[in-house]
Amino acid sequence: MKTIEQVLLELARLAIYEGLTGKKLIDKDKYLKDYPELGQKQAVFVTLNKIVGQHERLRGCIGSILPTRPLIDDVIYNAKAAAFNDPRFQALSIDEFDQIKIEISLLSIPKKVDYKDINELKQIIKPFKHGVILKLSGHQATFLPQVWEQIPDFDVFFEHLCQKAGLSGNCLDFYPEIYVYEIKKIEES
């Protein structure tokens, strides 16, 4: 019997292949019978990285912040969305299918952070551990904890997060709502 981690990666890859070929490959009832935990509500992000030589380049990343549907459905939906609906990229082609590496992040429930000022926020947020959600004036964005690997500087991290939300890079000056979460990362080898 496969581990749940293996099953989640298999489901994501099959979902993308279904999207590329139009073939129905996933028997959800069978998966749910064999792995009942797939029926529990869970928020996930699916990240696709394209292998180019010795390097990995982001090829798509879409996910859910809150657990609103069963794990099996969230993985299938977000895998297809990362492959075909990430606005930063063209839809994945069949030629690229064997060049992608799939990563799934299982999110904890976000917790609101109470802070007086930016210095206090710097004490609360744990780089590389916390994913961060920023909300201000109807705008919202999140960075998974993995983003700290590319942007390890707190100020630059938040400048980019503000900009991702469609706000000015100094949006922390306006005391946005901040939420943190942790992830369990599963990735293909």
- pLDDT, tens digit (0-9, with 9 covering 90-100), for 66-115: 999 999 999 999 999 999 999 999 999 999 999 999 999 999 999 999 99
Whether residues 39 and 8 share a domain: the answer is yes
Count of residues in the chain: 189
Q: Which amino acid is at 87?
A: P
Give the phi and the psi of residue 86 in degrees, each rounded to 5: -75, 120
- Does 46 fall in a domain? yes
CATH assignment of the domain containing 55: 3.30.700.20
CATH assignment of the domain containing 127: 3.30.1490.150
C-alpha to C-alpha distance for 74 and 106, rounded to whole angstroms: 10
pLDDT attached to residue 39: 98
The mean predicted confidence, pLDDT, of the chain is: 97
- Does 103 fall in a domain? yes
Q: Which of 61, 78, 107 is the last residue of a domain?
A: 107
Secondary structure (DSSP) of 49-82: EEEETTEEEEEEEEE-SS--SBHHHHHHHHHHHH
| Mean pLDDT, residues 43-71 taken together | 96
Q: Which of 59, 84, 107 is the last residue of a domain?
A: 107
Chain centroid offset of residue 117 CA: 28
User: Domain containing 51: what range?
Assistant: 4-107
Whether residues 103 and 126 share a domain: the answer is no
Q: Which amino acid is at 181?
A: Y
pLDDT attached to residue 186: 97
Whether residues 45 and 119 share a domain: the answer is no
The neighbour count for residue 59, using CB atoms within 10 Å, is: 22
| Mean pLDDT, residues 165-187 taken together | 97
| Mean pLDDT, residues 30-55 taken together | 96
